[in-house]
Amino acid sequence: MHKEETTEWMTAATQQRLRAELATLEERLAEEGERVRELAADTTWHGSNEVIPSVTRDMAALTHRIAAVKAALAHAVIYDPHSVPTDAVGVGTRVVVSEEGAREEFIIVGPAETAPAEGRISPDSPVGRTLLGHRVGDVVHVQTPGGSYDLCIEEISPAQ
């Protein structure tokens, strides 16, 4: 079975933030590993049996996050939001849509940059996936877990 590689769209700033996070996580993992080795080597320590399992759970969580950050960085495709084409909706574009007269704005960003409450959506989200490739004036049908609706694309511009 072949696992499909995923593109991780991100700005250079997000790539830099993830690299810094990775360095911090790796440092914390090394510190936790040293702590476990010290506890295991201490023949005078008679602490709770919960200490080592607790630390190893923390280490497992750190290891999981490190793997996720490394995978994102390995598949990173860097884009400059100020120079993306705006003839169609794509990653790095700001899109103004309307539904029955109500206007809403979205910025299409990579998964590491999403903030749905701020209108920053992934191209993998139902709305983002539906908008991709469409142009001003297009009406798209969005299917979400909460129902379906139509959006008219009013404007496309570079994300700021």
Check residue 115 and report its DSSP letter.
B
Q: Which fold has domain 93-158?
A: Chitinase A; domain 3 (3.10.50)
Tokens of residue 141, six digits: 């049908």
CATH number for the domain formed by residue range(s) 8-78: 1.10.287
Decide: 93 and 136 in contact? Cβ < 8 Å.
no
Alpha-carbon Rg for the chain in angstroms? 22
Tokens of residue 142, six digits: 């969005």
- pLDDT value at residue 4: 46
pLDDT along the chain (160 residues), means of 10: 64 93 95 82 63 80 95 91 88 94 93 92 93 96 92 92
Half-sphere exposure of 107 (CA within 13 A, CB side): 21
Counting DSSP H helices and E strands in the chain, the numbers are: 3, 7
State if pTM tops 0.75: no
Residues of the chain with CATH 3.10.50.30: 93-158
